[in-house]
Structure formats: structure tokens, C-alpha cells
């Protein structure tokens, strides 16, 4: 598959990236409303994906670079800075082979590993940029994203700071990680606003956001393209997550996540057609939706990265395969 231009920018990236949340390791969060299955609000809750191995994370990143993946997505909040530090070590000596995406708008205590909430004030944006540059071991960030999906204030003060960071060479372009297609107007009017990051998968579709990307010439970074593991075909009703995994509250025997697992089983034959794995089929479905899409699946092992990289060689699903998946999902909603 060919490289993709990230919206209005001149930045070219591979059609798939690496998502850096899981390699950030355990940390704690206080934004209870963002995780609907988190019921205990008496104390901060786990925000990572369980135990990690930094050496394996570094091997995985370098394997991805060796197999054509050029975009790496992270955030100051992932592991409260740890993901950025691991990525910085992994790309040392190869910085110009990489499109680095990181995010601001987070209040973190890096030493205590706790995420405290949001701050998108001008001073905080500048401080976050400098801290990310230091952790990543670089002097510029390719794409700097506001990491605050529910932000609903005037975006102009943020854009003024970001435009200045572009002018001085600290960042190349900027964007927003959000679900809110209806609130993009304030940012989209700024010429250096080039990228939106949002969830989009077979099981969580965002047609309105894809439409806005087409309308406003924006790049589409796709987070949760594998449904936090649901679409990989590796989970079952018996899967148990460790206490430090953000998914530990999932009920895979009954309820929403169990129904998602059942849907994946119904789609397995289509997803695995022509020799694909379920993960590769789910990524191929995303590429079939728009040539702007750059899915950024998370990873913890070299094997996962190599499996996902292989999907780029196979390309998007065919229109027939997309239609078959839609028909299967329609039949599930009618039963």
C-alpha cells in the first residue's frame, strides 16, 4: 500500500502506525466518566494494559520500522510519560525515518504515575511540548494533538500557541483526538490543523468523522481499530485481565463486550479470507472505508507488530467482503 498524506500537511506516513498506549505500562487515572465500566470511584483506577517489557517494546518498534511502518502515535498521558521515553529510546538514530505523533492537554505526575485531568492553557501547552520533546529525545514533533475529546471552549487561544510552535519549528502540524465531528469547525479553519484522531472499527463506526475528514481535507488517525483486542480473535468468554489492565471490568460472558465477541465469531470467515488473520481483516476493513485512514493498533510484542505490518501487504478488503460484513452485522441486530 502507498504512503498517505496527513491531511493539509506535507507529511507522508505509512498506511498504518503503531499505537503507544499499551507500552506505557501501568498508571492510574482519575477521569472516571471516560471509562463507563469503571464503577469504583473511591480511588484512582488503572489506566494501562497491564505489565510490560520495555526491551520487547523496543524490539517491536524497531521491527515495525524495518517492515515499513513509519508513524508512531503516543501521548504524554500514556504511562504518564513512560511510552514517550520508550519510543525515544527505540528510534534513537532513526528519527528521520519516523513520523512522531504525541498529545498535549494532560496533567500528569510522572513520578507517581497518575493522570490528573486536563489543562490546555497556553503555558501548559508550551510546557507539555518541551517535556514531550525531552522524553522523545527529539527537537521537533511531527503531529501534536489535543488529547481532550470533550473540549468545548473557544479553540482560538490553543491554535494561536500551536501556530507559534509551528513557526518556531517545535511541531510540524497539529490536530485533535476527539469523537466530536460537530465541533471541528473552530479548529478546522486554521491552516495548520491537519489531523483528527478518532475511534473507528467494524464494531464502532464513525461515518460523520470520516465525512468531515473528506470535507476539510484532514488526515484520519484511527484509534482502537481492533476494538481494544475484541477484533483480534484472541479473546474468549474465559479471558481474564490482570488488575492493572484497564479492561479488567469487561464482562465477556454477558453484555456489550460479550455481544461484540459473538459478532467477531460470525464475521471470522470473511475477516480471515485470502489468508488474513482476524486482526489483519479488521485493519483491511478500515482501509476499505477511506484512503485517508491510518489505523494505529496498539501492541506489546514484536509478533503483534509483525502480524499487523503484514496486513499492509494484503491491502483493503474488497467491496464484496465489506458488504458481507455489513450483512452479517445487520442480521445480528435483527435477532
pLDDT in tens, 106-157: 999 999 999 999 999 999 999 999 999 999 999 999 999 999 999 999 999 9
Q: Cα torsion at 128, 132, 138, 141 (round to 10°)?
A: -70
Grid cell, residue 257, equals: 463486550
Instruction: Determine the pLDDT at residue 44.
Output: 84
CB 308 within 8 A of CB 299: yes
Please tell me whether residue 83 adopts helix, strand or coil conformation. Answer: helix
CA distance 261 to 104: 33
Is the pLDDT at 40 greater than 80, yes or no? no
Residues 200-233 as b/e (b if ≥16 CB within 10 A, e otherwise) read bbbbbebeebbebbeebebbbbbbbbbbbbbbbb
CA distance 280 to 321: 13
Q: Show the domains of the chain with their CATH numbers.
A: 4-333 (3.20.20.100)
Helix, strand and coil in the chain, % to nearest 5: 45, 20, 35
Q: Give the mean model confidence (pLDDT) for residues 3-7.
A: 97
What's the CA angle centered on 234, arms 89 and 260, to 5 degrees? 110
Instruction: Determine the pLDDT at residue 334.
Output: 66
Please state the three-class secondary structure of 244-276 as a single string.
CEHHHHCCCCCCHHHHHHHHHHHHHHHHCHHHC
Please tell me whether residue 309 adopts helix, strand or coil conformation. Answer: helix
Helices (H), the chain: 54-66, 82-90, 122-136, 156-167, 185-188, 207-216, 256-271, 278-289, 302-314, 319-333
Question: Radius of gyration of the chain from Cα atoms?
Answer: 19
- What band does 210 get if pLDDT is binned at 50, 70 and 90? very high
CA distance 275 to 295: 20
Q: Give the mean model confidence (pLDDT) for residues 67-87.
A: 98
The pTM is what?
0.95
CA distance 234 to 169: 43
Q: How far is CA 191 from CA 149, 162, 240, in A?
A: 21, 11, 46
The total number of residues shown for the chain amounts to 335
CA distance 66 to 61: 9
Instruction: Determine the pLDDT at residue 332.
Output: 77
Is the pLDDT at 32 greater than 80, yes or no? no
Cell match 476499505: residue? Answer: 288
Least confident window among 49-53, 172-176, 190-194: 49-53
Nearest C-alpha neighbor of 275 from the set 311, 319, 320, 303 = 311
Cell match 465500566: residue? Answer: 37
Please tell me whether residue 32 adopts helix, strand or coil conformation. Answer: helix
Residue 319's CB is within 10 A of a number of other CB atoms, namely 9
Amino acid at each position: 500500500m502507498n504512503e498517505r498524506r496527513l491531511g493539509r500537511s506535507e507529511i507522508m506516513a505509512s498506511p498504518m502506525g503503531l499505537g503507544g498506549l499499551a507500552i506505557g505500562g501501568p498508571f492510574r487515572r482519575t477521569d472516571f466518566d471516560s471509562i463507563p465500566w469503571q464503577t469504583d470511584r473511591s480511588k484512582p483506577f488503572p489506566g494501562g494494559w497491564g505489565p510490560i517489557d520495555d526491551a520487547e517494546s523496543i524490539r517491536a518498534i524497531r521491527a515495525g520500522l524495518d517492515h515499513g511502518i513509519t508513524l508512531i502515535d503516543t501521548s504524554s498521558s500514556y504511562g504518564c510519560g513512560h511510552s514517550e521515553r520508550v519510543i525515544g529510546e527505540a528510534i534513537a538514530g532513526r528519527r528521520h525515518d519516523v513520523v512522531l505523533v504525541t498529545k498535549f492537554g494532560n496533567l500528569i505526575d510522572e513520578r507517581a504515575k497518575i493522570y490528573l485531568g486536563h489543562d490546555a492553557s497556553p503555558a501548559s501547552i508550551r510546557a507539555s511540548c518541551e517535556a514531550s520533546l525531552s522524553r522523545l529525545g527529539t527537537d521537533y514533533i511531527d503531529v501534536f494533538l489535543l488529547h481532550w475529546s470533550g473540549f468545548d471552549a473557544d479553540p482560538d487561544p490553543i491554535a494561536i500557541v500551536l501556530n507559534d510552535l509551528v513557526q518556531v519549528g517545535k511541531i510540524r502540524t497539529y490536530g485533535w483526538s476527539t469523537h466530536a465531528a460537530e465541533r471541528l469547525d473552530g479548529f478546522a479553519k486554521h491552516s495548520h490543523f491537519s489531523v483528527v484522531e478518532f475511534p473507528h472499527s467494524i464494531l464502532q463506526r464513525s461515518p460523520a468523522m470520516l465525512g468531515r475528514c473528506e470535507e476539510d481535507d484532514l488526515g484520519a488517525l484511527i484509534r482502537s481499530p481492533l476494538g481494544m483486542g475484541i477484533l483480534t480473535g484472541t479473546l474468549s468468554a474465559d479471558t481474564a485481565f490482570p488488575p492493572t489492565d484497564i479492561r479488567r471490568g469487561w464482562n465477556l460472558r454477558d453484555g456489550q463486550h460479550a455481544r461484540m465477541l459473538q459478532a467477531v465469531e460470525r464475521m471470522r470467515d470473511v475477516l480471515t479470507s485470502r489468508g488474513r488473520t482476524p486482526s489483519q481483516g479488521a485493519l483491511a476493513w478500515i482501509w476499505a472505508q477511506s484512503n485517508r485512514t491510518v489505523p494505529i493498533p496498539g501492541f506489546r510484542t514484536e509478533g503483534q507488530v509483525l502480524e499487523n505490518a503484514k496486513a499492509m501487504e494484503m491491502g483493503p478488503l474488497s467491496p464484496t467482503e465489506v458488504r458481507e460484513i455489513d450483512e452479517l452485522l445487520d442480521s445480528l441486530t435483527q435477532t
